[in-house]
Amino acid sequence: MRQKKSIEDVEVSGKKILLRADFNVPLEEGRVRDDARIRAVLPTLENLLDRGAALVLASHLGRPKGRPDPGLKLDPVAERLAELLGRPVRKLDQVAGPGVAEAIGALQSGELLLLENLRFEKGEESNDREFARQLAEPVDLFVNDAFGTAHRAHASTAGVAEFVPAVAGLLMKKEIEELSRCLENPQRPLTAILGGAKVSDKITVIRRFLELADQLLVGGGMANTFLAARGFDLGDSLYEKDLLKEASSLIESAEKSGCRLVLPVDLVVTRALEPGGETKTLPPQEISGDWKAVDIGPETVKTFSRYLSQAAMIVWNGPLGVFEIPPFDEGTKLVARAMAASEAYSIVGGGDLVAALEGLGLAGAVGFISTGGGATLEFWEDKELPGIKVLQDKA
């Protein structure tokens, strides 16, 4: 990938900067429940403010579908950001227009304000050119630090770059550097772990890691599809019947590529997807009737852990069971502990998985945790992300 300019490569003193952040955080009773995404952008904010820039912050929150939603206003974000920065954050009730332009015009070096939720405007997700122009017109520079939305060609991630120079923030720069490591110069053995519900969501990234990795460990609902493709009945387990042929093709690709495709050898099964329900641990060939596979079993955990202990680099996306319903989160937790205990350099992407690591107190043991979900997957698929493509290249 071409190297992109970042805020470290440009002069910012006295400039007004539109900074696209990812403040799409969970709210609870009018307050921010988890501020990890806000904290992730603080180094960029502090760097720019200390260097004399005036900042106009922009973000989306939730899916208001182009119209105002009182429950998705960014006021709680402004409040929490002010607490973290230790300085005032002025919050506007609009995204664009004369009032916004006037407020930005009065902004002084070292000051910042936060626009209202970008997705209250229909022109945001449609990448409307006029809306992008309105966002860009009052500023001198565009900084994209929202890697989590870099795979979207929206007005605030791609469209604005038509009207004003665009560079990466420190978080965006870090994401590009770290996620590129396993693609361009992986340490070996490279072990990839992919979980989640559907093979269909990750076909391209599976193929990519079959080319790159020494081992690919598969769990979650997507493992059921591979096991069904191998001829196991699996009872009432969730899997993608229309993807069986594709899964068989991926198994064949693994045999040809030299990458070891590792599927579960035992699974936790239940009749009811609810806490406290009856469970058993069975090998795939013994699952039948109304039993459904909902997590990897202890023998699979041991197998996965052995590969992780021998790895030099680990990349992981997606939980290995129905993580949101305990005790079907146990496999993910145990493998997470094995990853943390490994001496390998680890890179993790995906919201559910990140929440698991933080809940276990293991986030600090991971080499890099990506703030992207879909963006991380598309980056690993080697796709050109719109929000990165528009950033200026280094000479």
Rg of the chain on CA atoms, in Å: 23
Interacting residues of 392 by C-beta distance below 8 A, sequence separation 6+: 4, 5, 165, 166, 167
Q: Of the residues 110, 235, 351, 367, which is catalytic? A: 351
Q: Of the residues 5, 181, 198, 389, which is catalytic? A: 198
Q: Distance (Å, rounded) from C-alpha 15 to C-alpha 322?
A: 48
Q: What are phi and psi of 217, to 5 degrees?
A: -95, 125
* Helix segments in the chain, DSSP class H: 36-40, 42-50, 75-85, 98-105, 122-125, 129-136, 170-184, 203-212, 220-229, 244-257, 298-310, 330-341, 351-359, 374-380, 386-389
Q: Known catalytic residue: 258?
A: no
Q: Of the residues 4, 16, 37, 208, which is catalytic? A: 37
Q: What angle do CA 77, 83, 85 make, to 5 degrees?
A: 95
Q: Which of 313, 312, 366 is CA-nearest to residue 336?
A: 366
Cis peptide before 386 (omega within 30 of 0): no
Q: Distance (Å, rounded) from C-alpha 385 to C-alpha 381?
A: 10
Q: Known catalytic residue: 80?
A: no
Helix axes 244-257, 203-212, angle to 10 degrees: 10
Which residues sit opposite 166 in a β-bridge? Answer: 142
Q: Distance (Å, rounded) from C-alpha 281 to C-alpha 269?
A: 6
Q: Rounding to the nearest 10 degrees, give the CA dihedral for residues 357, 360, 365, 369.
A: 20
Q: Known catalytic residue: 351?
A: yes
Q: Of the residues 133, 207, 374, 389, which is catalytic? A: 374
Q: Distance (Å, rounded) from C-alpha 222 to C-alpha 224?
A: 5
Q: Distance (Å, rounded) from C-alpha 290 to C-alpha 236?
A: 5
Q: Known catalytic residue: 374?
A: yes
**Active site amino acids:** 37, 198, 351, 374
